[in-house]
A and B are shown apart, each in its own frame.
Chain A
Amino acid sequence: MTTALPTDRKTWRVDLGDMPPSVLVSAAWVSLMAVIALLADVVAPYDYQDMDLLGRLKPPVWMDGGTWAHPLGTDDLGRDVLSRIIESLRISLFVALLGTLIGAVLGTVIGFTAAHFRGWVDHVVMVLIDFQAALPFIILALAVLAFFGNSFVLFVLVMGVYGWERYARIVRGLALSASSHGYAVAVRTLGANPVRVYLRHILPNMGSAIIVNMTLNFPETILVETSLSFLGLGIQPPLTSLGNMVGFGRDYLLTAWWIAVLPSIVIFVTTLAFSLLGDWLRDRLDPTLRGT
């Protein structure tokens, strides 16, 4: 994890013929999900909150009694499951995206701070990293939500904290080794201030490592968010998340399995696609991590 630099511009070009089939399928799935999430209002056949108490617990179209009016059936309040999955997907991806960005910025800033000041600042950061790595994140998140109550903004911030320590560790390590490299010394000798050296010269060189970590962090954030929402402690109604749907649908496994199982499938396939993409990207962009 010390010398992932520098990246040749050519490695950024995506060559479709180069991608293994699993990665191609993953990329296609991720793009499809992204488009659906972006166009949720247009693609969803119904408003996700529209209730139809006379059409409750209708099965999906391929089962007896299913109709094309509700291709994936309806839930216990007669809401269209397809529309709810689309809206949930939008919120789950949005939270994961924001969470990943916040985590990346937070971790990068902390990593640079530790590498710049060294000494006791570095020690404090390392102790904090150890501390964060020691406590299972879901326990920490539950504690924060218990103490502060739940709100959408707080929940997104909590998701942002997830994984900061990995960015901090990577950035700190790379910044420490980079500041002794010729180019950083040269810019500094020319009189650039430290912020400029870090942001304009060292950061671009560790871009691939950070991006790889972001693609690996993204599906994990989805899993944490959906798990907390499943427990009823994440996204709160009337908003909906894929985890919420599984959590509420769990009570209907016997009579209306589709409410819980269909969003479960979406979670699984989507996180799997992101993980496969992330692994592939890591092997490609960060040759030092390649190997077994």
Chain B
Amino acid sequence: MTRRLVWPLVMTALSAFLLGPLILVVVFSFNSNELISFPMGGLSLRWYHQLIGDDAFQAALLNSLAIALPTAFISTVTGALAAYTFAEWRTRFGLPALSVLGLPVLLPPLVIAIALVVLFARWLDLPLGRPAVICGHVLVTQPFVAAVVAARMASFDFTVLEAARDLGASRFQTFVKVTLPQIRAAIIGAALIAFALSLDEFIIAVFTIGGGNTLSTFVWGKIKTTLDPSINAIATIMLAMTVSLTLIALRLTRYRG
């Protein structure tokens, strides 16, 4: 009987290691004390109130959304187009070619960040700012979109497209009425993943944003100085956004790594 409990215990302990630190952050965001330590004070929303009144927080949130939305849109279009085209092409170079898109994810984001800074500042003589951040984020999110859509396309039955054409549908009608409904969930899921990744990304953002803050760089500015309990509230808000986006995306795509 005890041997049967070993694995569930090991798994629970490891899950606790994975999720525990995050749960602590969430728990302490509702703590009324100034100090992030035990014993805890009462239940309170004071850190959230403080945040909402903070203009810098609002600006950072708006900035983040103004970056994550275009990022998600662009990388979903480019990534999905690439994945769909190779799937429809049915060439054996499709998979290797798609993996090439993943190269930016293999390098440290720091290197991508400085390469972009060098490109913008030295060679193009363009100012840094939101467009630069979006460039960097599209680069690192489009491989995820391509992977999710390619996984969906792997089980896509192309004969249904021929069947639709055979039954009189035009190319465009076939795409809208047959193809799109089948891959829509995967594409929306991929867009949500790209959105979450962009929202959370820090290193590229901090190098290429120029002035101003995103949510990540705002958090960074705060943790660099002290352990201010309001960080718990921002962290909780960021976690709530990325985790719920991820959950919906996983649900939609049934993507498993």
The answer to whether A binds B is no
List chain A positions with a Cβ less than 8 A from chain B.
none
List chain B positions with a Cβ less than 8 A from chain A.
none
